[in-house]
Amino acid sequence: MSARAIVGSDDAAARRLAGGAQLYLASMFFTPGEVEQEHARFQAYAARHQLMVVASNYGGPTGSLPSGGHGAIWSREGALITRIAHTRSGLALAHPIGTGWHGEVSD
């Protein structure tokens, strides 16, 4: 699991790949206004480094900050496999099917 300070750098993904990683897990907290920017960054990490990327974002308010929610999973090619709706809590899952992936959200 990577901390926010490490996750925010493309170098962190490159170091994981150089170490033999095939899956990049990131536990995050970002606000609704940051969701699309952060998801674009993770999609780029997946495609550029050929890593499956799983991003978990807190889904409820904390203190005075609203959470952006939207946990998601991207394939090694950078394709979005699944994404949790902001209004929903659950677990994002990816299942291999043939040469691709099937995504779902479990309650």
Domain of residue 94: give its range.
Answer: 4-106
Structural domain tally of the chain? Answer: 1
Over the stretch 42-63, which tens digit does the pLDDT of each residue have? 999 899 888 899 998 887 777 8
CATH of the domain at 28: 3.60.110.10
Write down the pLDDT at residue 4: 40
Q: For residue 31, give the amino acid letter.
A: T
| Average of per-residue pLDDT across 15-41 | 83
How far apart, in whole angstroms, are the C-alpha atoms of residue 29 and residue 6? 13
Over the stretch 63-102, which tens digit does the pLDDT of each residue have? 888 888 899 999 999 999 999 988 788 899 999 999 999 9
Write down the pLDDT at residue 61: 72
Strand ranges of the sheet holding 80-83, from the earlier edge strand across to the other edge = 23-28, 52-57, 72-74, 80-83
